[in-house]
Amino acid sequence: MLFWIAIAVLTFGVAAAFLLPLTRTAARGIDDARAANIAIYRDQLRELERDKAAGLIPAGDADNARAEIARRLLAADARGEAGAVSTFSGNGLAQAFVVVVIPAVSLCLYLLIGTPGMPSQPLEARLENPGNDMNLLVAKAERHLMQNPDDGAGWDVLAPIYARMNRMGDAELAYRNSVRLNGPSADRLNGLGEVLLAGRDGVVSDEAQALFRQALALEPGNPRAAYYLALALEQSGERQKALQAFRAIAESSPPNAPWQEIVARHIARNGGGPLAGGPVQAPSSAPGNPTPDDVKAASALSGADRQQMIRAMVDGLDAKLKAEPDNFDGWMRLLRSYAVLKEEDKAMATLKESLKAFPAAGAQGQQLLAMAEELGLPVKEALK
């Protein structure tokens, strides 16, 4: 009942807002017309009296003229009242339209496309059945943790979700609670370190380094922690040590590991050459990669045709990534392609879109940022 009362009040308010200008316009128009008529005929009477006093018009003619002016004044007043009736009659139709038709049409549309029979659903009920709404799922988890702050499993689940949502302050608190309640693990320490790293625009702080060292002690050979420790060496200017650290990661990782490409670039950046097994290449069967036939066909084309073919391949990869944004290798290739084509605006747009799928706090997000930095793109602008 309260809902319908509120709807009625809103309907009345909207109708009044439409009606008020109509009534004001009509009244103002009538008053203005009458005032103009009166002013005109008063001027004529004053002019007539001046002419009579000056002897320019006989007294009989003056009386006849005065009577004619009075008749015109009465006729004009009668026309003004008739116009008022007509104006109010026209406005009456508009008023009826506003009062009757608009609410009726609105009600019919609501009954047709709305759900008047659906009962109201307070927050409590929506939290009980959040469906696939991520915001409701997070709100439900937050509510549970407010009532059970010592639930370590809950903090363990919520921390990486906060990081993916770019809520870094909440993610840091959740990771710290998870480590405190569940104990340190490589994943928890790496997650906390990545959150601290994201808060400092990719700079590996002393606290983050301590977390990555602890993760490496708990899980020797952990490539995630080893990568950030090598990155810290590179950022501090210790290029030789960084080169050795990145080489160690590349040599101890599987050849097709997703981080091999970014590690190879860091090796090259720090003065190293290709590994004994050759440079790390992305699998040729990865989505968006040119096939051997594509390469052969491109080599036989003229310069303009080759450029057109490259453009078509880049556009095709762009379209695929819009449909399948979880393709990390595809984002890396597309980012590099736009940079090579000297299209910085599209490269920046690609970087921002890729960071939505792979947030900067994660290892893959860091790889994207590292590549963008290597390509000379303004990385800080993409993180805003």
Report pLDDT digits (tens) over 99-120: 677 777 777 777 777 666 655 5
94 falls within a domain: yes
Residue 371: CATH number of its domain: 1.25.40.10
245 falls within a domain: no
Residues with Cβ within 8 Å of residue 71, at least 6 apart in sequence:
none
8 Å CB contact between 272 and 380: no
pLDDT digits (tens, 9 = 90+) for 172-199: 999 999 999 999 999 999 999 999 988 8
pLDDT digits (tens, 9 = 90+) for 308-354: 666 777 778 888 888 888 888 888 888 888 887 788 888 888 888 88
Q: What is the pLDDT of residue 290?
A: 46
Q: What is the pLDDT of residue 141?
A: 81
Single-letter residue type at 233: L
Q: In this structure, what are the phi and psi dihedrals at residue 129, rounded to the nearest 5 degrees? A: -130, 70
> What's the whole-model pTM score?
0.46
The region that residue 88 occupies, defined by phi over 0 for left and psi between -120 and 50 for alpha, beta otherwise, is alpha
Rounded to the nearest integer, the mean pLDDT of the chain is 76
> Cβ atoms within 10 A of the Cβ of 88, count?
15
Domain boundary among the residues 92, 113, 134 is at: 113
Q: What is the pLDDT of residue 287?
A: 42
Q: What is the pLDDT of residue 71?
A: 76
Angle, to 10 degrees, between the axis of helix 344-357 and the axis of helix 328-340?
170
∠207-208-210 over CA atoms, to 5°?
65
Question: Does residue 289 carry a pLDDT above 50?
Answer: no
Q: What is the pLDDT of residue 301?
A: 47
Domain boundary among the residues 113, 131, 154 is at: 113
> Cβ atoms within 10 A of the Cβ of 82, count?
10
136 falls within a domain: no
**Which of 39-43, 57-61, 226-230 is predicted most confidently?**
226-230
Cβ-count burial 114-147 (b if 16+ within 10 Å, e if not): eeeeeeeeeeeeebeeeeeeeebbbebbeeebee
Best CA proximity match to 239, nearest among 262, 264, 271: 271
Q: What is the mean pLDDT of residues 366-371?
A: 80
Q: Specify the 3-state DSSP secondary structure of 111.
A: helix
236 falls within a domain: no
Q: What is the pLDDT of residue 305?
A: 57
Question: Does residue 303 carry a pLDDT above 60?
Answer: no
**Structural domain containing residue 35:** 2-113
The tally of domains found in the chain comes to: 2
Q: What percentage of the chain has pLDDT greater than the value 70?
A: 69
Q: What is the pLDDT of residue 116?
A: 62
Domain boundary among the residues 58, 78, 113 is at: 113
Q: What is the mean pLDDT of residues 76-93?
A: 54
Q: What percentage of the chain has pLDDT greater than the value 90?
A: 19
Q: What is the pLDDT of residue 27?
A: 47
Angle, to 10 degrees, between the axis of helix 134-147 and the axis of helix 152-164?
150
122 falls within a domain: no
242 falls within a domain: no
Angle, to 10 degrees, between the axis of helix 186-199 and the axis of helix 152-164?
40
Q: Which of 12-21, 183-192, 273-282 has the lowest mean pLDDT?
A: 273-282
pLDDT digits (tens, 9 = 90+) for 133-174: 667 777 878 888 888 999 998 899 889 888 888 888 999 999
190 or 69, which is more confident = 190
